């Protein structure tokens, strides 16, 4: 794809450096080990890179905001950079008119315990953007699809 634009700052500090149903009480239902509150002392895991480096809950890099980069011409990718682990966390690709095409995620989500969640190929994996209403087209907006192998 075309240009790449960094979301947030790069490690050098340069902003945007690169352009069953059951009964009412289910007897099979077992309680989780501890309350899912915010007062637990154990770290909560959010996701892991391919080399198993974890991203803890709350340490996700700043979200990609505002859609395509206004300075970009043509198809381009906006990168979400992980300043803690010093690597690219996600890339969002936009087409020539600025509509989102897909996200490429360089981490897979985990359970808070750090165990991998099923159903995610990779990492990396991709999420395609699907137009909300094909009869209306891109004006109807987009939703992000499920995780798929990179194509």
Partner 1 sequence: MFGVTILDHSDNGVLSLDLKDILLLLGSQAESSEWEISHVEALDGVGAEELHCLADKGARVPGQRLIRLASAVTQIIDGIFRGYQKGESEPWIVIQAVDSSAFDVQSDDKGVIHQIRQHFRSVVCLPIGSE
What are the residues binding partner 1 (CB under 8 A)?
20-26, 29-40, 42, 46-47, 57-58, 60, 63, 65, 105, 109, 111-113, 115, 117, 119-120, 127-128, 130, 132, 141-148
* Minimum CB distance to partner 1, residue 75 (Å): 20
Residue of 136, 112, 123 lying closest to 85 (CA atoms): 123
Identity of the residue, 73 or 137, whose beta carbon is nearer to partner 1 in the bound complex: 137
Residue pointed to by tokens 């899912």: 36
Helices first, then strands: H and E counts in the chain: 0, 9
* Minimum CB distance to partner 1, residue 146 (Å): 5
Q: How many CA atoms lie within 13 A of 52 on its CB side?
A: 2
- C-alpha span between 135 and 56 (Å, rounded): 41
Spell out a b/e string for 23-41, using b for 16 or more CB atoms within 10 Å of the CB, else e: eeeeeeeeeeeeeeeeeee
Identity of the residue, 76 or 120, whose beta carbon is nearer to partner 1 in the bound complex: 120
- C-alpha span between 29 and 32 (Å, rounded): 9
* Minimum CB distance to partner 1, residue 5 (Å): 18
Identity of the residue, 30 or 51, whose beta carbon is nearer to partner 1 in the bound complex: 30
Identity of the residue, 50 or 73, whose beta carbon is nearer to partner 1 in the bound complex: 50
Identity of the residue, 73 or 115, whose beta carbon is nearer to partner 1 in the bound complex: 115
* Minimum CB distance to partner 1, residue 27 (Å): 10
* Minimum CB distance to partner 1, residue 8 (Å): 13
């Amino acid at each position: 794809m075309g240009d790449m634009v960094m979301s947030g700052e790069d490690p050098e500090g340069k902003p945007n450096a690169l352009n069953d149903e059951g009964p009412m009480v289910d007897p099979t239902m077992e309680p989780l080990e501890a309350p899912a509150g915010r007062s637990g002392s154990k770290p909560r895991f959010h996701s892991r890179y391919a080399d198993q480096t974890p991203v803890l809950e709350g340490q996700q890099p700043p979200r990609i905001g505002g859609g395509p980069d206004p300075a970009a011409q043509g198809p381009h990718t906006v990168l979400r950079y992980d300043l803690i682990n010093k690597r690219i966390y996600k890339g969002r690709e936009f087409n020539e008119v600025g509509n989102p095409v897909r996200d490429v995620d360089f981490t897979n989500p985990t359970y808070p315990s750090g165990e991998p969640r099923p159903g995610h190929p990779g990492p990396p994996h991709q999420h395609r953007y699907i137009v909300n209403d094909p009869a209306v087209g891109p004006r109807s907006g987009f939703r992000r699809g499920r995780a798929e192998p990179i194509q």
